[in-house]
């Protein structure tokens, strides 16, 4: 009883010590976000101002084809499936690490038979022996210095970082699909302009041939008209080639073979939707890549605690309850009962500097993770500034280009009238036609660049994602403090 009392007292003391925490107190690395984005001066606010995209952010474009594509990307894309599998692995590792917080209990049963040597068993009447045993054995490492807790926290934070990686991958691929879709619709619009141009040039060639046969036009005029027509046809074919490539790219993003995927030609005249304003500091909550980087900082912080714990003794408890007898029939009798309980501690006295090196490595990993976190934030600020500048300046370009198209159209009409009146040759008409066509194609290009820039801005703002979307409930907290993370 005295030994049992001493053992119980020792266990109570060790359990009290298990509240020790050797990891540094975690704090998110300090950053100083600017009060506002520099390029946001002319940012058109959505009405109402809280109309920020949530979840299916692509719905703001009101395009059924885009909605279908994005749904497929989110559910079928193989890169997203791979990222989801990596998250599942990290989540499983978190569960494995957390299991070390609890005792290991094994049921055991065995039968051993043997025969002692004559030299050893000479005084004994029987050299043969049998040993049957059945029981339950338990072992438990007391987490006195927090090594197991900190290791479990590392795995938990890494699983949450992996969840952020999954969200970032999905956002990136869905934004890529949306940008490709806008570019594809841009080529649809360019092809429509070119088809109208080809029809107009073909009619002009017919008129020029008629004038040539009647003696009112020279042969170079016919050649110039034919050249303009064929070049317009070439541009139309090139637009359709670029469209086909984008359709194949979208098919792959949507998880389909290009041969099985078709997007019907359609002219889209949607205007870039307004996006609600977001302040720079909000990106820390809206961007999954920033959240993933912050989770890795906390994981590195707890690695330091696990490294420090290696300088202290590793203490474990063990126990056994069961029966042992020479024959199976006697196993479950009172005299066969056995039990054992004990505690053990191991302290490394010399390891050639290994523990010191592990501790230094953990500190360096924390510095690296913090630097990467701050750099991720800076990159996010830069992406938003770039996309805001693109929207603002492309809007200006659209206005000036529209004015240029009107001027080019007037110039082409005047050139055709001067040619019909005999005051100019057909090369003047072709020159005016080329200028007008280039202006129209640029206007279409700028419009869909604005649509793509809007997609990229939504992506840079984190889409509809929020930090609260990081999984917590199924990654059971390691402590009350850990649950609040």
Q: What confidence score (pLDDT) does residue 15 get? A: 52
* Residue 52 pLDDT exceeds 90: no
pLDDT digits (tens, 9 = 90+) for 229-280: 999 999 999 999 999 999 999 999 999 999 999 999 999 888 888 766 778 8
Q: What confidence score (pLDDT) does residue 422 get? A: 83
DSSP state of 128: E
Q: What confidence score (pLDDT) does residue 140 get? A: 87
**Domain 103-142+313-346, CATH:** 2.20.200.10
Domains of the chain: which residue ranges? 19-101+144-312+354-483, 103-142+313-346
CATH of 19-101+144-312+354-483, one of 1.10.8.50, 1.20.1600.10, 2.130.10.10, 3.90.870.10: 1.20.1600.10
pTM: 0.84
Range 459-482 average pLDDT = 66
Higher per-residue confidence, 33 vs 458: 458
Neighbouring CB atoms inside 10 A of 340's CB total 11
Strands across the sheet with 337-346, in order? 104-115, 128-142, 314-325, 337-346
Range 342-352 average pLDDT = 88
- Residues with Cβ within 8 Å of residue 294, at least 6 apart in sequence: 28, 29, 284, 373
* Residue 455 pLDDT exceeds 80: yes
| Whole-angstrom distance, CA of residue 213 vs CA of residue 234 | 27
Q: What confidence score (pLDDT) does residue 1 get? A: 54
As a whole-number percent, the residues of the chain with pLDDT over 90 amount to 55
Helix ranges, 39-77 (H): 64-76
Q: What confidence score (pLDDT) does residue 481 get? A: 43
Q: From the centroid of its chain, how far is CA 191?
A: 35
């Amino acid at each position: 009883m005295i030994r049992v009392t001493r053992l119980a007292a020792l266990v109570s003391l060790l359990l009290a010590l298990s509240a020790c925490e050797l990891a540094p107190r975690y704090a998110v690395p300090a950053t100083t976000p600017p009060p506002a984005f520099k390029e946001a001066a002319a940012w058109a606010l959505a009405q109402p101002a809280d109309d920020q995209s949530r979840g299916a952010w692509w719905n703001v474009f009101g395009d059924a084809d885009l909605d279908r594509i994005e749904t497929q990307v989110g559910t079928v894309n193989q890169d997203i499936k791979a990222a989801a599998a990596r998250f599942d692995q990290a989540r499983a590792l978190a569960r494995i690490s957390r299991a070390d917080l609890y005792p290991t209990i094994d049921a055991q049963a065995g039968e051993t038979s043997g025969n002692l040597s004559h030299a050893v068993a000479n005084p004994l009447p029987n050299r043969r022996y049998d040993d049957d045993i059945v029981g339950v054995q338990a072992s438990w490492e007391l987490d006195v210095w927090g090594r197991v807790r900190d290791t479990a926290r590392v795995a938990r934070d890494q699983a949450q970082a992996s969840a952020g990686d999954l969200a970032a991958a999905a956002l990136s691929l869905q934004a890529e699909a949306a940008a490709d879709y806008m570019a594809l619709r841009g080529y649809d619009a360019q092809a429509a302009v070119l088809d109208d141009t080809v029809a107009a040039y073909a009619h002009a060639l017919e008129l020029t041939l008629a004038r040539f046969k009647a003696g009112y036009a020279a042969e170079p005029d016919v050649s110039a008209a034919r050249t303009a027509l064929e070049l317009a046809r070439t541009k139309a074919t090139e637009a359709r080639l670029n469209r086909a490539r984008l359709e194949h790219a979208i098919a792959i993003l949507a998880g389909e073979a290009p041969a099985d995927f078709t997007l019907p030609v359609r002219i889209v005249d949607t205007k870039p939707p307004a996006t609600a304003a977001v302040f720079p500091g909000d990106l820390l909550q809206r961007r999954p890549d920033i959240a993933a980087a912050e989770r890795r900082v906390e994981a590195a912080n707890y690695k330091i605690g696990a490294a420090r714990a290696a300088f202290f003794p590793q203490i474990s408890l063990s126990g056994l309850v069961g029966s042992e007898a020479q024959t199976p029939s006697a196993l479950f009798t009172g005299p066969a009962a056995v039990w054992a309980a004990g505690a053990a501690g191991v302290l490394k006295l010399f390891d050639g500097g290994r523990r010191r090196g592990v501790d230094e490595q953990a500190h360096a990993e924390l510095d690296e993770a913090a630097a990467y976190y701050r750099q991720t934030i800076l990159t996010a600020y830069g992406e938003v500034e770039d996309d805001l500048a693109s929207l603002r300046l492309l809007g200006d370009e659209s206005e000036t280009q529209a004015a240029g198209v009107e001027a080019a159209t007037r110039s082409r009409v005047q050139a055709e009238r001067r040619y019909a009146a005999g005051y100019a040759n057909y090369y003047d008409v072709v020159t005016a036609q080329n200028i007008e066509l280039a202006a129209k194609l640029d206007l279409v290009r700028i419009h869909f660049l604005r649509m793509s820039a809007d997609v990229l801005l939504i992506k840079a703002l984190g889409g509809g994602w929020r930090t609260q979307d990081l999984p917590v409930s199924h990654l059971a907290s390691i402590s009350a403090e850990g649950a609040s993370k």
